[in-house]
C-alpha cells in the first residue's frame, strides 16, 4: 500500500512537471506569436514611412517642375518684353532719323 501511494505521488509529480513543461511551451509559443505580430507591425510602419517619403518626393518634384515652368514662362515673357522694347527703340530711332532728314531738307 505504501508503494502504491509512493507510485501515485510519483505519477502526480510527473504529471505536474509535464503540465509545467506544457505551460512553458505555450508561453514560448505566445511570445513567438507576439514577436511575429510586432515584426509585422514594424514592417507595415516601415512600408508606410517609405510610401510617405516617396509621396513627399513626388510632391516635391511636382512643385519643382511647376516652379521651373513658371520661371521659364517668366523668362519668355521677359524676352518678349525685351524684344518689344528693342523694336520700340528701333521705331523711335527711325522717327528721329526721319525728322532729321526732313529738317535737313527744309
> pLDDT tens per residue, the chain (106 residues)?
999 999 999 999 999 999 999 999 999 999 999 999 999 999 999 999 999 999 999 999 999 999 999 999 999 988 989 999 999 999 999 999 999 999 888 8
Does residue 102 form part of some domain? Answer: no
**Rounded Cα distance, 103 and 72, in Å:** 46
Query: Is 93 exposed, middle or buried, given 0-12, 13-18 or 19+ CB atoms closer than 10 A?
Result: exposed
Report the domain count for the chain. 1
Does residue 53 form part of some domain? Answer: yes
Does residue 83 form part of some domain? Answer: no
Does residue 103 form part of some domain? Answer: no
Tell me the three state secondary structure of residue 1.
coil
At 105 the pLDDT is 87
At 84 the pLDDT is 93
pTM reported for the whole predicted model: 0.47
Does residue 4 form part of some domain? Answer: yes
Q: Which domain, by its residues, includes 60? A: 1-75
**Rounded Cα distance, 33 and 84, in Å:** 76
At 106 the pLDDT is 81
How many CA atoms lie less than 13 Å away from 83 in the CB half-sphere?
Answer: 6
Does residue 92 form part of some domain? Answer: no
Amino acid at each position: 500500500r505504501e508503494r502504491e501511494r509512493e507510485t501515485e505521488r510519483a505519477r502526480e509529480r510527473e504529471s505536474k512537471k509535464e503540465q509545467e513543461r506544457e505551460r512553458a511551451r505555450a508561453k514560448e509559443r505566445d511570445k513567438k506569436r507576439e514577436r511575429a505580430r510586432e515584426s509585422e507591425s514594424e514592417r507595415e510602419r516601415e512600408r508606410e514611412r517609405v510610401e510617405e517619403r516617396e509621396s513627399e518626393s513626388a510632391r516635391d518634384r511636382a512643385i519643382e517642375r511647376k516652379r521651373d515652368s513658371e520661371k521659364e514662362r517668366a523668362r519668355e515673357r521677359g524676352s518678349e518684353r525685351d524684344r518689344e522694347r528693342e523694336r520700340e527703340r528701333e521705331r523711335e530711332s527711325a522717327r528721329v532719323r526721319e525728322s532729321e532728314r526732313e529738317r535737313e531738307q527744309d
